[in-house]
Amino acid sequence: MTRAEGILNLDASTLSRRIAARELSCRALMQASLERIAALNPVHNAIVSLRDADTLLAQADAHDAVLARGEIVGWMHGFPIAVKDLSDVAGLPTTMGSPAIGLRMAQADALFVQRMKKAGAIVIGKTNTPEFGLGSHTYNPVFGVTRNAWDAAKCAGGSSGGAAVALALQMLPVADGSDMGGSLRNPAAFNNVLGLRPSRGRVPAVPAEDVFFQQLSTEGPMGRTSEDVARLLITMAGWDDRAPLSLAEAWPDPAGEDPIACEPGQRIGWLGSLWPDLPLESGVSALCAATLQKLQAAGFEVEPCTLDVPREANWNAWLRLRQMLVGGKLAPLYAQQQHLLKPEAQWEVEQSFQLTAAQLYQASVQRTQVYQAFRKLFERYDYLVAPSAQVFPFPAEQHWPKEIAGVAMDTYHRWMEIVTPFTLAGLPVASVPVGFGAQGLPMGMQVAGPPRSDLRVLALARACERIAPWSHVRPAALAHPA
């Protein structure tokens, strides 16, 4: 193993401690990351809009100079970070993967980017995303397809696919993502890393055109360990008066010894596929069940349960509210440049034109029913779990699965239906690795807790890591990264 490989094998929390102790230089970390990107990104296409190497190494040197003075910026001091290409970084383009946007140069950082920089991070570029983040497969006409870390012939998931692949291939120590319909959970599962969709309001969206209706999507952290995810979550989180629905709570120091610092609850409700008629590819449920058996053997109480909401009521709420938000946002682009939008984006806008106030009100009522059904289950259970996806990674050239287990999918996102109730309820929910299917492809399990129990969700993720340490397994591409 070369020195660069040894550096990149370290988790983010260990990197942080070694940099603070001046056992590892920021330049060495930056150089190793850039070498890894040069070796593997041409195949996997996770990082886009990469900044000039000399500029980045100069920034790393500046961070080393700060350390030499006996100072440190924060726990992310000198970390190379790439931001999902839906969010702004000053001086870099925000394309959203769409030719309708073009290479629009951002003038200011998004709030969570400001917070990561304040903790010491160096932004090296962006991570690839599907056009406007629509769909759980990362491809777009601006930068192309992002390919799975475990099999470059397969998709990476999405919409945080670039972030997940960059993590799995050790190009980055941690990464940001965002999630409306599983966009943190699905790519984490497809690439054997961890992704956390935080409680609604935990990570403020600033800037934002709308700060009241947009309650389905949220930014959140991704990492290779639960500890790393917790540190990044605390860094990204916190009240901001520009986001009136954001949460204001006292949280631990992200640079502290143990950012989770809580024991997991013991009672786990296994939701399976959520509804008996929701199709799953063979092998998905079995991997989750195997991890649950190990948790049970370790003293956790696990029992099957059901979500008392009709499947179609949940799906109707999801469709209508999503159409309002996505269609409303993209309608001006549709009016001016319809031909430049991908078919799925056009469909969302066209569906939104048909919405009525009564339909939207009914969708909000149904969303409330989903929340109340979860609340009732949390009277009995500390956690609720279900698979992170209904299928394993599929061919990268396939835009979305047309069927699962012989059941036809009637929309481009129906194959991710299993994540939607957790989104509607605004729960903190992590995807944790649970192993590999018959073709050697990863899968994850959603671990959800009551509202605002983000760190307790990560405490159970940590328990899973210790009992079933799948996240320690590395892709074959890392055996010969050069």
Q: Which candidate, 39, 94, 9, places its Cα nearest to that of 481?
A: 39
pLDDT at 68: 98
pLDDT tens-digit profile of 235-265? 999 999 999 999 999 899 999 999 998 999 9
Q: What percent of the chain has pLDDT over 70?
A: 100
pTM equals 0.98
CA distance 284 to 301: 21
Can you read off the two tokens belonging to residue 343?
């078919």
Residue 334 makes CB contacts below 8 A (sequence gap 6+) with 341, 345, 346, 349
Rg of the chain over CA atoms, in angstroms? 21
pLDDT interval class at 102 (50, 70, 90): confident
Which three-class secondary structure state does DSSP give residue 448?
strand
Q: Which candidate, 150, 177, 156, places its Cα nearest to that of 46?
A: 156
Helix (H) or strand (E) holding 32: helix 26-44
What is the average pLDDT score of the chain?
97
pLDDT at 482: 54
The label of the residue with tokens 């983000």 reads 454
Can you read off the two tokens belonging to residue 117?
């920089």
Q: Is 1's pLDDT higher than 80?
A: no
Q: Catalytic residue numbers?
A: 84, 159, 183
Strand partners, 82: 125
pLDDT tens-digit profile of 339-387? 999 999 999 999 999 999 999 999 999 999 999 999 999 999 999 999 9
pLDDT tens-digit profile of 277-300? 999 999 999 999 999 999 999 999
CA distance 184 to 198: 10
Can you read off the two tokens belonging to residue 76?
């992310």
CB 242 within 8 A of CB 211: yes
Q: What angle do CA 98, 102, 106 make, to 5 degrees?
A: 110
pLDDT interval class at 338 (50, 70, 90): very high
CA distances from 303 to 23, 231, 430, 463 (A): 47, 31, 19, 18
User: For residue 477, how many C-alpha atoms fall within 13 Å in the half-sphere facing its CB?
Assistant: 23
Can you read off the two tokens belonging to residue 114?
């400001």
Position 24, amino acid: L
Which three-class secondary structure state does DSSP give residue 415?
helix
CA distance 262 to 252: 11
CA distance 211 to 208: 6
CA distance 463 to 469: 9
Residue 366 makes CB contacts below 8 A (sequence gap 6+) with 309, 313, 314, 316, 317
Q: What angle do CA 219, 223, 228 make, to 5 degrees?
A: 100
Q: What are the structural domains of the chain?
A: 3-479 (3.90.1300.10)
CB 317 within 8 A of CB 367: yes
Q: Is 309's pLDDT higher than 90?
A: yes
Q: Which residues of 232-267 are buried (b: 16+ CB within 10 A; e: fewer)?
A: bbbbbbbeeeebeebbeeebbebbeeebbeeebbbe
Q: What is the mean pLDDT of residues 204-217?
A: 96
Helix (H) or strand (E) holding 221: strand 218-223
Can you read off the two tokens belonging to residue 408?
């036809």
> In whole angstroms, what separates CA 157 from the centre of its chain?
10
CA distance 382 to 360: 32
Q: Is 327's pLDDT higher than 80?
A: yes
